[in-house]
């Protein structure tokens, strides 16, 4: 009978049944074999406190009173057995001094005798106790002793396998590096949330982790992750912070913290910013956070998606701080996604073309260069200007493909012009931030122009100020230097829009500065606007750089520019971007010949356009 009992419990262990259920079954089976006995199993925790685990025939009020009792030399039968690590037989609870502190409790439930044995683990530690209670004072029988001895190993197996399962579970839900709950745990927690409860989801991303890894090594990157994890966990304590993987963390905020959302987020951002030593290097970490509030109109999964969108948006426009999802953010992102899709499709269908806008000597009207601008041809023949889709270049993959495609078109067009002897000086090519991440941009430029026999001095690489200024990235400075060393010219595009620091111009020199249209728009209208343009022209000249005014639309602007010694302009006053064959005709007529002596003075072209 004992064997049968052992087997049935072992089977439950093998099936992974719940511990309480298995041991309650064991107790009930024992009670069937030993009429009059009440079996009870307590577990012992690492703080030496007892906890009821199974005692199906004892009253709940009695067993729950045993919870959290510390073991000791005279703590009833079980507390003493666990403490002394040997069996304890109490024949009469009423009289035995071991039961002094608990006897009124036991007697009030009619319990009079109790024999308890420690359950040892395989390493000899005490895992709990197995006890038999009786309602009259008595000593244990031989059968009772035999059955207890037979049950102890079963209890051990059940308790240890439960412990192992718990440990597995804990590990499966814990991130090894940071000890924070992991992605699986995050999903579990998120699943318990409801749309109509009030909570917010924070997704946090450590900025520039890749740069830290690349510059200081992976050990430094790991240190950075660990420090941010600790800081985040303490900023939101007692709520858990989850590590979703890589440099991404999450927090589900609810009313537990009793603080306004912005206050908590400010605290996280501020805590993250403290300097940290990573593998011997001091780093000033920053984090970017995307936030979505629960909303009964949206499912939990949608809220998660909204937090992703907010994070994506924050990384784009407010790195180092946070963005809270709203409909404006959603429409910006949707528009971008649409642009990305459209450009990817157009590239695939070969519907992206290089058009050219002339850069003109304002004083003579000669075309001294052209800027290549991407145009998308729709299936109905409509031509879409880049302004309507250049958001797509925020997607690294599309951006790189677009540049590669444009390089192919431009090198072919310029090669043709030169072969035909068309007077041609320079072509500007717009680069995106993504072009600086890979290694091959310089190579593919060199290869494409070499194949068409176009000397590199004809090529100007236009880098927008926001890319150029990207301080975190020494890589950009190095690439710009290597472009110039290879013989390309580099222009700083949209100058004045991206907080260019002048020290940057000293450390990373360029050949040309293109003053952004927004400044040219103010020329002659406001004193301040005019002063800024004058200042830029003076700085550029002082540093030996050429200046091109972008977006020149009126004769008045052209005159003011020439007066201020800026003789290169680009804008609708002269021409919009036109297809390559039209540009060939324009160059034939107005292209600056290399042998033509530069005329600094001279009248501003009185005619508006130069195409007629």
Binding site for Ca ion (CB under 5 A): 430, 462, 493-494, 550
571 binds, among Ca ion, ligand C2E, none (CB under 5 to 8 A by kind): ligand C2E
Cβ proximity of 263 and 222 under 8 Å: no
496 binds, among ligand C2E, Ca ion, none (CB under 5 to 8 A by kind): none
Distances from the Cα of 152 to the Cα of 8, 41, 90, angstroms: 15, 10, 19
Tell me the backbone φ, ψ of residue 448, rounded to 5 degrees.
-65, -45
**Which residue lies nearer to ligand C2E by CB, 140 or 496?**
496
Range in contact with ligand C2E (rule: CB under 6 A) among 174-182, 384-392, 529-537, 579-587: 384-392
Q: Supply the minimum distance, in Å, between the C-beta of residue 428 and ligand C2E.
A: 8
Closest CA to 513 of 494, 534, 531, 487: 494
Percent helix, strand, coil in the chain, to 5, is 45, 20, 30
Identify any residues that bridge with 490 across adjacent strands, giving them in sequence order.
461
- Does 50 participate in binding ligand C2E (rule CB under 6 A)? no
Q: Three-class SS of residue 237?
A: coil
Q: In what order do the strands lie in the sheet with 88-90?
A: 69-70, 49-54, 38-44, 126-134, 113-120, 88-90
Q: Supply the minimum distance, in Å, between the C-beta of residue 417 and ligand C2E.
A: 18
Q: Supply the minimum distance, in Å, between the C-beta of residue 372 and ligand C2E.
A: 6
CA distance linking residue 183 with residue 513, whole number of Å = 48
**Which residue lies nearer to ligand C2E by CB, 387 or 612?**
387
Size of residue set near ligand C2E by CB under 6 A? 24
393 binds, among ligand C2E, Ca ion, none (CB under 5 to 8 A by kind): ligand C2E
Q: Which residues lie below 8 Å from residue 290, measured CB to CB, with a gap of 6+?
A: 202, 203, 205, 307, 308, 309, 310, 311, 312, 313, 314, 315, 322, 323, 325
Tell me the backbone φ, ψ of residue 196, rounded to 5 degrees.
-90, 5
- Token representation of residue 391: 């958001």
492 to 531, contacts with ligand C2E by CB under 6 A?
Answer: 493-494
Residue identified by tokens 């009978």 is: 1
CA distance linking residue 570 with residue 557, whole number of Å = 11
Q: Supply the minimum distance, in Å, between the C-beta of residue 576 and Ca ion.
A: 14
Using CB under 6 A, pick the residue from 577, 583, 584, 604 that binds ligand C2E.
Answer: 577
**Which residue lies nearer to Ca ion by CB, 88 or 491?**
491
Range in contact with ligand C2E (rule: CB under 6 A) among 82-90, 256-264, 385-393, 591-599: 385-393
Using CB under 6 A, pick the residue from 158, 310, 402, 568 that binds ligand C2E.
Answer: 402
Range in contact with ligand C2E (rule: CB under 6 A) among 7-15, 188-196, 402-410, 437-445: 402-410
**Which residue lies nearer to Ca ion by CB, 413 or 493?**
493
Q: Supply the minimum distance, in Å, between the C-beta of residue 407 and Ca ion.
A: 15
Checking DSSP bridges between strand 38-44 and strand 126-134, what pairing results, if any?
antiparallel
Tell me the backbone φ, ψ of residue 585, rounded to 5 degrees.
-60, -45
137 binds, among Ca ion, ligand C2E, none (CB under 5 to 8 A by kind): none
Q: Which residues lie below 8 Å from residue 582, measured CB to CB, with a gap of 6+?
A: 611
385 binds, among ligand C2E, Ca ion, none (CB under 5 to 8 A by kind): ligand C2E
Could you tell me where the DSSP H helices lie in 392-526?
396-419, 441-451, 465-468, 474-486, 502-507, 517-521
Closest CA to 574 of 388, 361, 387: 361
- Evaluate the omega torsion of the peptide bond into residue 238 and state whether it is cis, within 30 degrees of 0: yes
CA distance linking residue 154 with residue 157, whole number of Å = 5
Q: Supply the minimum distance, in Å, between the C-beta of residue 490 and ligand C2E.
A: 14
x-marked contacts with ligand C2E along 216-255 as a string, rule CB under 6 A: ----------------------------------------
373 binds, among ligand C2E, Ca ion, none (CB under 5 to 8 A by kind): ligand C2E
Using CB under 6 A, pick the residue from 40, 77, 342, 432 that binds ligand C2E.
Answer: 432
175 binds, among ligand C2E, Ca ion, none (CB under 5 to 8 A by kind): none
x-marked contacts with ligand C2E along 325-364 as a string, rule CB under 6 A: --------------------------------x-------
Cα dihedral sign for 354, 359, 365, 366? negative
**Which residue lies nearer to ligand C2E by CB, 76 or 569?**
569
Q: Which helix (H) or strand (E) holds 28?
A: helix 19-33
Using CB under 6 A, pick the residue from 129, 430, 557, 605 that binds ligand C2E.
Answer: 430
- Does 553 participate in binding ligand C2E (rule CB under 6 A)? yes
Provide the 8-state DSSP code for 77.
H
Residue identified by tokens 């000033």 is: 284
410 binds, among ligand C2E, Ca ion, none (CB under 5 to 8 A by kind): none
**Which residue lies nearer to ligand C2E by CB, 103 or 426?**
426
Q: Supply the minimum distance, in Å, between the C-beta of residue 544 and ligand C2E.
A: 23
CA distance linking residue 597 with residue 612, whole number of Å = 24
x-marked contacts with ligand C2E along 61-100 as a string, rule CB under 6 A: ----------------------------------------
- Does 569 participate in binding ligand C2E (rule CB under 6 A)? no
Cβ proximity of 19 and 114 under 8 Å: no
Cβ proximity of 591 and 610 under 8 Å: no
Q: Three-class SS of residue 375?
A: strand
Cβ proximity of 239 and 186 under 8 Å: no
Using CB under 6 A, pick the residue from 142, 387, 506, 612 that binds ligand C2E.
Answer: 387
Range in contact with ligand C2E (rule: CB under 6 A) among 93-101, 360-368, 470-478, 565-573: 565-573
Closest CA to 365 of 594, 597, 589: 589
Q: Supply the minimum distance, in Å, between the C-beta of residue 516 and Ca ion.
A: 6
Q: Supply the minimum distance, in Å, between the C-beta of residue 550 and ligand C2E.
A: 6
Range in contact with ligand C2E (rule: CB under 6 A) among 12-20, 326-334, 534-542, 545-553: 545-553
**Which residue lies nearer to ligand C2E by CB, 98 or 359?**
359
- Token representation of residue 94: 């009423």
Binding site for ligand C2E (CB under 6 A): 357, 373-374, 385-387, 390, 393, 402-403, 406, 430, 432, 462, 493-494, 550-553, 570-572, 577
């Amino acid at each position: 009978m004992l064997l049968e009992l052992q087997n049935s419990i072992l089977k439950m262990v093998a099936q992974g049944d719940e511990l309480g259920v298995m041991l309650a079954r064991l107790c009930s089976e024992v009670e069937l074999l030993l009429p009059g006995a009440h079996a009870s199993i307590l577990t012992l925790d690492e703080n030496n406190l007892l906890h009821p685990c199974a005692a199906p025939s004892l009253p709940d009020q009695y067993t729950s009173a045993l919870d959290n009792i510390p073991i000791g030399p005279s703590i009833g039968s079980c507390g003493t057995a666990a403490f002394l690590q040997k069996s304890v037989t109490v024949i009469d609870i009423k009289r035995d001094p071991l039961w002094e502190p608990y006897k009124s409790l036991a007697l009030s439930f009619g319990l009079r005798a109790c024999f308890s044995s420690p359950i040892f683990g395989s390493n000899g530690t005490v895992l709990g106790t197995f006890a038999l209670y009786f309602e009259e004072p008595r000593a244990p029988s031989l059968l009772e002793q035999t059955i207890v001895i037979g049950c102890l190993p079963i209890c051990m197996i059940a308790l240890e396998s439960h412990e192992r399962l718990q440990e597995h579970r804990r590990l499966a839900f814990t991130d090894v590096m940071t000890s924070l709950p992991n992605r699986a745990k995050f999903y579990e927690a998120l699943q318990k949330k409801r749309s109509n409860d009030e909570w917010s989801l924070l997704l946090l991303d450590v900025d520039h982790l890749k740069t830290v890894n690349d510059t200081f090594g992976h050990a430094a990157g790991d240190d950075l992750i660990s420090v941010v994890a600790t800081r985040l966990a303490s900023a939101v304590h007692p709520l858990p912070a989850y590590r979703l993987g890589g440099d991404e963390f999450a927090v589900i905020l609810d009313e537990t913290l009793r603080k306004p959302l912005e206050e908590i987020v400010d605290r996280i951002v501020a805590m993250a910013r403290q300097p940290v030593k990573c593998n011997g290097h001091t780093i000033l970490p920053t984090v970017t956070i995307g936030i979505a509030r629960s909303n009964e109109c949206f499912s939990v999964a949608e809220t998660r998606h909204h937090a992703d969108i907010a994070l994506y948006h924050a990384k784009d426009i407010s790195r180092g701080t946070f963005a809270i999802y709203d409909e404006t953010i959603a429409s910006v992102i949707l528009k971008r996604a649409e642009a990305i899709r459209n450009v990817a499709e157009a590239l695939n269908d070969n519907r992206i073309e290089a058009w050219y806008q002339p850069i003109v000597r304002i004083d003579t009207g000669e075309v001294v260069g052209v800027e290549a601008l991407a145009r998308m041809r729709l299936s109905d023949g409509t031509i879409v200007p880049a302004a309507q889709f250049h958001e797509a270049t925020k997607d690294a993959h599309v951006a790189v493909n677009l540049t590669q495609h444009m390089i192919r078109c431009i090198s072919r067009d310029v090669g043709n012009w030169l072969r035909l002897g068309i007077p041609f000086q320079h072509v500007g090519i717009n680069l995106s931030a993504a072009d600086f991440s890979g290694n091959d941009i310089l190579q593919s430029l060199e290869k494409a122009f070499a194949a068409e026999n176009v000397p590199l001095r004809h090529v100007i690489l236009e880098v927008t100020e926001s890319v150029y200024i990207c301080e975190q990235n020494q890589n950009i400075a190095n690439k710009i230097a290597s472009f110039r060393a290879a013989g390309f010219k580099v222009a700083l595009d949209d100058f004045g829009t991206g907080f260019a620091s002048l020290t940057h111009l000293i450390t990373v020199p360029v050949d040309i500065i293109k003053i952004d249209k927004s400044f040219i728009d103010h020329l002659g209208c406001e004193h301040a606007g005019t002063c800024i343009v004058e200042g830029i022209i003076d700085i550029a000249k002082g540093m030996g750089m050429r200046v091109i005014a972008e977006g020149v639309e009126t004769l008045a602007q052209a005159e003011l520019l020439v007066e201020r010694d800026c003789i290169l302009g680009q804008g609708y006053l002269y021409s919009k971007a036109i297809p390559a064959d039209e540009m060939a005709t324009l160059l034939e007529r107005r292209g600056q010949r290399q042998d033509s002596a530069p005329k600094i003075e001279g009248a501003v072209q009185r005619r508006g356009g130069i195409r007629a």
